[in-house]
Amino acid sequence: MAEPTSGELTPDALTPDALTSDVLAESQAGEALLGRYRDSLLGVFGTPQRVLVRGSGATVWDAEGREYLDLLAGIAVNALGHAHPLVTSVVASQSATLGHISNFFTSPTQIALAEKLLQLSEAPEGSKVFFTNSGTESNEAAFKLARRHGGTDRPRIIALQDGFHGRSMGALALTWKPAHREPFEPLPGGVEWVPAGDVAALRAAVDETVAAVVVEPIQGEAGVRGMPEGYLQAVREITREAGALMIVDEVQTGVGRTGAWFASTGVEPDAMTLAKGLGGGFPIGALITCGEAVSELLSAGQHGTTFGGNPVATAAALATIHALESGGVLENVRRVGAATADALAARAEVTEVRAHGLLIGFDVDDAGLPGSAPLAPAIVAQALEAGFIINAPGPRTLRLAPPLTITEDQMMRFVEALPGIHRAAKENT
């Protein structure tokens, strides 16, 4: 372990007044903090790009005081941006009243949020909610729901190629990319994949031996690729004919990200999973089971969670939903998303744009690069140097998932900077 340097705030020196990231950062520069990170945290994320210490709206600042426009929002999590006053005040108030109680008990905020989600999703009579801490945990619960439905007679589960559902063992078993799955095999069995958006392939795969079909309306990790028109309706029809469940993964796309409450609005799934934007930055997820028969598949003792649905998390989610409903935010998502997509499409260095509200993927021109050198990671690095946080789900694909409250002027700052960022990235690749 690295030796403490002069002025460093070591663990033994921590005091209540110093337990915030901005105060801790005052004792040491970002590079030194990154060294301590490497010495003390498991390296599953690689080395972080920066040490961030505070944020406001769509802007964050690092330990050196540099400012960034956050166009990723913690991977589509910070729906209202950083330090939204309603969320922070509700979290503080609820924390000061009742924090964690376990699921031996319930709380008014837990009940109110469940009722609100059932209302927003237009779930049929008899529908229920199970709260989790994350998207992968929501999909893990959905996996067990499918197993309970299928039993030994329906051992197969169908997922889509290029889909991503999380990194816990059940959710990972549903995830397509072999590089994610293979180091951890054997995984829970019975999962098969069909080409995304291919109705004929799905129809050929689904019969009375299938417990469930799991589908993302828009595949974010695949580069923000939506399903073809009518595909979700076809999934509904095929699963209903075969007696299989239709499970919709709205972890990234739900809660307003696309300009609607859910990207699958208009389709009636048997279950829906949520997370990311639900808590406005506070960790919370949910599984919604639709209808009485599906909701009875998991009974007392068959599933659970220690932290899921605690009063603070559910209060944060209620505050987030209230702000989305009352502030015209969904209209902002549609308007700013469309303007950004049009502006990106007009750039010479952009070859394709796939926009669904404020979940935007775009491909960049990598002509002239040697061999198969990936350009997108270099653009992410150059964008960071220029003060923009974005991410690269593919070798030539970038993803934008900013706060849903971001302004058109802020998005245009990035679009206008893109030619210089693209040029610098090509020169350094």
The verdict on whether residue 15 carries a ligand-binding annotation is no
The verdict on whether residue 414 carries a ligand-binding annotation is no
The verdict on whether residue 305 carries a ligand-binding annotation is yes
Residue 14: other Cβ atoms inside 10 A: 12
Residue 294: other Cβ atoms inside 10 A: 22
Beta bridge mates, 240 = none
**Residue type (1 letter), 115:** E
Kindly give the pairing relationship between strand 245-249 and strand 271-274. parallel
The verdict on whether residue 143 carries a ligand-binding annotation is no
| 388, 422 contact by CB (below 8 A) | no
The verdict on whether residue 252 carries a ligand-binding annotation is yes
Taking every pair of Cα atoms in the chain, the longest distance, rounded to a whole number of angstroms, is 70
Closest by CA to 289, choosing from 157, 123, 109, is: 123
The verdict on whether residue 30 carries a ligand-binding annotation is no
| 388, 68 contact by CB (below 8 A) | yes
Beta bridge mates, 359 = 356
Closest by CA to 81, choosing from 417, 412, 410, is: 410
User: What distances in angstroms separate CA 171 from CA 144, 219, 243, one per listed residue?
Assistant: 10, 15, 22
The verdict on whether residue 135 carries a ligand-binding annotation is yes
The verdict on whether residue 399 carries a ligand-binding annotation is no
Residue list for the binding site for pyridoxal 5'-phosphate: 135-136, 164, 249-252, 306
Residue list for the binding site for N(2)-acetyl-L-ornithine: 167, 305
Residue list for the binding site: 135-136, 164, 167, 249-252, 305-306
